[in-house]
């Protein structure tokens, strides 16, 4: 069975992957889901000084202190930036990277470089004193509790360019595309296609871990078994 380390996206926390973890554990997998500094249950540590490097270090330290090797490292949305950085730092601990509707950066790129001008302007416009306020309201398909637990995210995490030395380039990668996503991930998905990565699809909004945790867990289990059903043929 596989060991999954799951890294959440912006404004969230490891808590939002609880149900996915339960389904994976029921299939016999080991799962950890660290919360990045300043978010979720660690929101009391939030600071505008936190940036992408801070969150990459969170994941590296988690892998090292838990003594984890041969893991499937999963990054959702902004978490794609984080797992890419962590894979470059400790490639010997990672068997596969999985991006769940995640950003796929190259060296020197920030999330804003990949997100496009509209989303970048929206996030910058929601920033107060270096912290981006979580989205307001309850979008269709999201439970109220999801947004109630969302927390402000340091703006610097989205502005900071990633620093990659190419040490993680040989790690196999897969992509899970959310078909109802409203996040501009075209550049990242195209990179997955160009790289010949397996691309699986799930018919949910951007946060599949909330919309359909059972189906997402099934896809992750399939990826762990090196077989991805419903491959995208676009």
Question: Residue 119: which residues within 8 A CB-CB, separation 6 or more?
Answer: 183, 184
Active-site option among 43, 54, 77, 150:
77
What distance in Å separates the CA atoms of residue 24 and residue 43, rounded to the nearest whole number? 27
Order across the sheet with 199-202: list the strands.
30-32, 3-7, 71-76, 94-100, 173-178, 199-202
| Contact indicator for 160, 53 with CB cutoff of 8 Å | yes
**216 CB neighbour count, 10 Å cutoff:** 27
For residues 176 and 216, the answer to whether their CB atoms sit within 8 Å is yes
Instruction: Tokens for 192, please give them.
Output: 């997955």
What SS3 state is found at 98?
Answer: strand
Closest CA to 75 of 88, 1, 132: 88
The encoded tokens of residue 162 equal: 């990633």
- Which DSSP state fits 6? E
Q: Among this protein's residues, is 174 annotated catalytic? A: no
Torsion angle of the four alpha carbons 76, 81, 85, 88, in this order, in degrees rounded to the nearest 10: 80
| Residues with catalytic roles | 77
């Amino acid at each position: 069975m596989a060991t999954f380390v799951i890294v959440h996206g912006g404004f969230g926390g490891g808590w939002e992957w609880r149900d996915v973890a339960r389904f994976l554990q029921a299939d016999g997998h080991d799962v950890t889901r660290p919360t990045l500094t300043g978010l979720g249950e660690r929101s009391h540590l939030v600071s505008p000084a936190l940036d992408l490097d801070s969150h990459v270090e969170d994941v590296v330290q988690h892998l090292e202190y838990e003594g984890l090797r041969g893991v499937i490292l999963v990054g959702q949305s902004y978490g794609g930036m984080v797992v890419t950085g962590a894979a470059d730092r400790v490639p010997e601990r990672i068997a596969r990277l999985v991006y769940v509707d995640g950003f796929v950066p190259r060296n020197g790129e920030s999330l804003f470089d990949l997100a496009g001008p509209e989303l970048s302007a929206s996030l910058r416009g929601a920033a107060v004193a270096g912290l981006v306020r979580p989205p307001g309201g309850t979008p269709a398909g999201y439970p109220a509790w999801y947004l109630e637990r969302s927390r402000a995210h340091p703006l610097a995490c989205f502005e900071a360019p990633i620093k990659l030395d190419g040490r993680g380039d040989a790690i196999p990668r897969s992509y899970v595309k959310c078909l109802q996503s409203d996040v501009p991930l075209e550049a990242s998905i195209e990179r997955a296609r160009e790289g010949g990565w397996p691309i699986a699809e799930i018919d949910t909004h951007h946060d599949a871990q909330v919309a359909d945790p059972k189906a997402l867990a099934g896809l992750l289990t399939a990826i762990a078994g090196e077989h991805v059903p419903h491959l995208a043929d676009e």
